[in-house]
Amino acid sequence: MQNLSNSSPKLYPQDFILKYTILPFIPKWIKPNHVTILRFVLSPIVVYLLWLENYSIGVPFLIGVALTDAIDGSMARTRNQITDWGKAFDPLADKLLIGSSLIIVAIKYFFWTTMTVIIFEFAFIITGWSRRKRGIDISANIWGKFKMFMQVVGLVLILLALYLNAAMLFPYALISLFLAIILAVASFFTFGI
């Protein structure tokens, strides 16, 4: 799990925010890949809570686990700890968390939109692993990052609508998922994940 490059990686706006807010509280012995593994471990708990429709615990838990995606990426970039393992498994952990949660929650309300999102995610997994197997670098690009963000926004809006009994949030959730699909197309054609 060594660093892939001696040069400093490109930093994103969230990296600067997290570098001065959350990352100072994370000990240096905790590596970004540890946080990714934590997301793999916690994702089934999130899915189980959502399946039970325990939104009062499930929604905050989902948001917390989803935040680990931003944390491990920012840790890797700001601490110059990007690894091959992290580049392969971080996106897989994201897709497991968000894809499973969407299947449990969103498919009941937006079947075709959710299925389109899920199909794109499977395509990204297969394409990413195929490219990796051929030795081609795989990584998220800006379109992929916004795609994942819109998926999280759509999912959280659906969960808030259910928890707060606020049906007026459903159209905004649907818009977020449509935007995620558009961003997925952009990410796919720019060879991101």
Asked whether residue 5 is domain-assigned, the answer is no
Asked whether residue 71 is domain-assigned, the answer is yes
| Residue 146 to residue 12: CA distance in whole angstroms | 12
CA-based angle 17:155:160, to the nearest 5?
95
Domain with 116 in it:
13-189
- pLDDT for 6 equals 54
Mean residue pLDDT across the chain: 89
Asked whether residue 8 is domain-assigned, the answer is no
Look at residue 129 and tell me whether its pLDDT is greater than 80: no
Asked whether residue 58 is domain-assigned, the answer is yes
* Number of Cβ within a 10 Å radius of residue 68: 23
Using 50, 70 and 90 to split pLDDT, how confident is the model at 190? Answer: confident
Those residues whose C-beta lies under 8 Å from the C-beta of residue 36, and which sit 6 or more positions away, are 68, 72, 86, 89, 90, 93
- pLDDT for 189 equals 79
pLDDT in tens, 27-51: 999 999 999 999 999 999 999 999 9
- pLDDT for 11 equals 87
Using 50, 70 and 90 to split pLDDT, how confident is the model at 1? Answer: very low
Asked whether residue 2 is domain-assigned, the answer is no
Those residues whose C-beta lies under 8 Å from the C-beta of residue 48, and which sit 6 or more positions away, are none
pLDDT in tens, 135-160: 777 666 788 888 989 999 999 999 99
- pLDDT for 142 equals 81
pLDDT in tens, 66-125: 999 999 999 999 999 999 889 889 988 998 999 999 999 999 999 999 999 999 888 887
Of the candidates 47, 166, 44, which has an alpha carbon nearest to the alpha carbon of residue 104?
47
Q: What is the percent of the chain where pLDDT is above 70? A: 93
The amino acid present at 102, given as its one-letter code, is L
Asked whether residue 4 is domain-assigned, the answer is no
Domains in the chain: how many in total? 1
Those residues whose C-beta lies under 8 Å from the C-beta of residue 57, and which sit 6 or more positions away, are 49
Asked whether residue 1 is domain-assigned, the answer is no
Q: 36: domain CATH number?
A: 1.20.120.1760
- pLDDT for 193 equals 64
Asked whether residue 6 is domain-assigned, the answer is no
Residue 68, CA distances (Å) to 12, 25, 162, 167, 192 in order? 16, 14, 24, 29, 20
